[in-house]
Amino acid sequence: MPDPALVVLIGAAGSGKSTFAATWNPSQVLELDAFRAMVSDEAGDQQATADAVAAMRTVLEARLTRKKTTVIDSTNCERAVRAGLVQAARRHGVPTVAVLMGTPVSLCVIRQTARTPGRAVPADTVRAQHTAATAAFPGLRGEGFDHVVFADQLHRLEPLLQRASDARRADLGWDGNSGLGSLLLVRRVFGDAVLPLWRWAEGSTLAGGDRIAEITLGADRLILALRTDVDGEGDYGFDLLTACPVDDECTAPAWAPAHSVTTLLDALTGHLADAPDIVCTVHGGDGQEADDLHAPYADAVA
């Protein structure tokens, strides 16, 4: 495949275009659904298609001007749409590659059932797209495409794995940088979104010697403790600082297990107050007394 090139994916909804497009760098992929979301907040908003296409064409022109490889991730089943793409590439002297998805139409239809209602495409539309894409194949060279291939003829796994390997090595610090270090566990439990907001509060004694972290954004602040011996089993986990579940006037630290980012959301929205596993370092919780707490809580009391 030439580089640079304008790569035009052709296939019905559900044929695997976006999965295949993900083997290129994200900056190289122009996905029509993403542009619909940009202009309307809804990737499936068909009424936003004209504006989405206009926005996508603006970006495409800018990339072709710079001779950057660009992948068009949309059905591209209509000849007029493909003609506009080929003309744009020719104006900038960039080779064109048509990549056809060979996915059976039955599978394309089945895949719609796993999509959200706003993204699912009616079966009749999917079948019509598949028919149009199949009929287009013999004439794609005549339309001006420099190369015509089926997706299953291309070797795209290596670049996908290379990017994944590079990202993983960077996370672990194997690329000569510091890596994520202790934030690897944070990401595993809470995901990527909180990483830029996460700060360790070194030297804090709030959790009886266990490491304390803060998540702060604007007026919002959450405090967590890293537990290194959960339930005495040697497991790692996080507790979230919250209010005492026994006495509204108690100011002692109380902790709730934080199993995922949903726990953090529940804390901010007031849905954590009735959780049965909140434990106060003075009053206990859920029938426990302070003396019955597991080691991390007992240390906090001490």
Q: In this structure, what CATH number is given to the domain that contains residue 87? A: 3.40.50.300
User: What residue numbers bound the domain in which 274 lies?
Assistant: 184-301
Residues 51 and 105 reside in one and the same domain: yes
Count CB-CB contacts under 10 A for residue 118.
10
Using CA of residue 50, residue 70, residue 123, residue 143, what is the dihedral sign? Answer: positive
3-state secondary structure string across 68-118: CCEEEECCCCCHHHHHHHHHHHHHCCCCEEEEECCCCHHHHHHHHHHCCCC
pLDDT of residue 266: 94
pLDDT of residue 189: 94
Residues 240 and 270 reside in one and the same domain: yes
Q: Cα–Cα distances in Å, from 289 out to 159, 213, 248?
A: 56, 26, 16
Please state, in angstroms and rounded to a whole number, the distance separating the CA atoms of residues 106 and 126. 9
Using CA of residue 187, residue 261, residue 230, residue 197, what is the dihedral sign? Answer: positive
Lowest mean pLDDT among 37-41, 174-178, 221-225: 174-178
Q: What is the mean pLDDT of residues 114-119?
A: 87
Residues 156 and 15 reside in one and the same domain: yes
**31 CB contacts (<8 Å, ≥6 apart)?**
18, 21, 73, 74
Q: Interhelix angle for 32-40 vs 49-65, to 10°?
A: 120
- Model confidence over 9-68: pLDDT tens digits? 999 999 999 999 999 999 999 999 999 999 999 988 889 999 999 999 999 999 999 999
- DSSP SS3 for 43: coil
Asked whether the beta carbons of 19 and 108 are under 8 A apart, the reply is: no
Q: Which structure tokens are listed for 130?
A: 């598949």
Residues 111 and 19 reside in one and the same domain: yes
Query: Does any domain span residue 1?
Result: no
pLDDT of residue 110: 96
What's the pLDDT band for 74 if we cut at 50, 70, 90?
very high
Query: Does any domain span residue 172?
Result: no
What's the pLDDT band for 1 if we cut at 50, 70, 90?
confident
Q: What is the mean pLDDT of residues 63-92?
A: 97
Residues 200 and 149 reside in one and the same domain: no
What's the pLDDT band for 240 if we cut at 50, 70, 90?
very high
- DSSP SS3 for 174: coil
Please state, in angstroms and rounded to a whole number, the distance separating the CA atoms of residues 301 and 278. 15
Average pLDDT of every residue of the chain: 91
Query: Does any domain span residue 178?
Result: no
Residues 16 and 82 reside in one and the same domain: yes
Residues 24 and 155 reside in one and the same domain: yes
Asked whether the beta carbons of 301 and 205 are under 8 A apart, the reply is: no
What's the pLDDT band for 246 if we cut at 50, 70, 90?
confident
Q: Which structure tokens are listed for 237?
A: 């986990």
Residues 17 and 154 reside in one and the same domain: yes
Query: Does any domain span residue 284?
Result: yes
DSSP 220: E
**128 CB contacts (<8 Å, ≥6 apart)?**
none
Query: Does any domain span residue 176?
Result: no
What's the pLDDT band for 291 if we cut at 50, 70, 90?
very low
Query: Does any domain span residue 169?
Result: no
- DSSP SS3 for 198: strand
Residues 25 and 156 reside in one and the same domain: yes
Task: Say which residue, 251 or 61, is predicted with more confidence.
Answer: 61
Please state, in angstroms and rounded to a whole number, the distance separating the CA atoms of residues 258 and 143. 57
Cα-based torsion angle of the residue sequence 87, 88, 94, 99 in order, rounded to the nearest 10 degrees:
-70
- Model confidence over 254-284: pLDDT tens digits? 999 999 999 999 999 989 877 888 999 898 8
pLDDT of residue 286: 59
Using CA of residue 198, residue 201, residue 205, residue 208, what is the dihedral sign? Answer: positive
pTM for the predicted model, two decimal places: 0.80
pLDDT at 287 over 60: no
Residues 142 and 39 reside in one and the same domain: yes
pLDDT at 296 over 70: no
From 133, 164, 195, the end of a domain falls on: 164
Q: What is the mean pLDDT of residues 247-257?
A: 91
Query: Does any domain span residue 171?
Result: no
Percentage, residues of the chain above pLDDT 70 = 94
Please state, in angstroms and rounded to a whole number, the distance separating the CA atoms of residues 73 and 21. 7
Residues 198 and 60 reside in one and the same domain: no
Task: Say which residue, 278 or 301, is predicted with more confidence.
Answer: 278
From 117, 132, 164, the end of a domain falls on: 164
* Structural domains counted in the chain: 2
pLDDT at 290 over 50: no
pLDDT of residue 264: 96
Residues 160 and 192 reside in one and the same domain: no
> Phi/psi at 179 (nearest 5 deg)?
70, -175
From 117, 134, 164, the end of a domain falls on: 164
Query: Does any domain span residue 27?
Result: yes
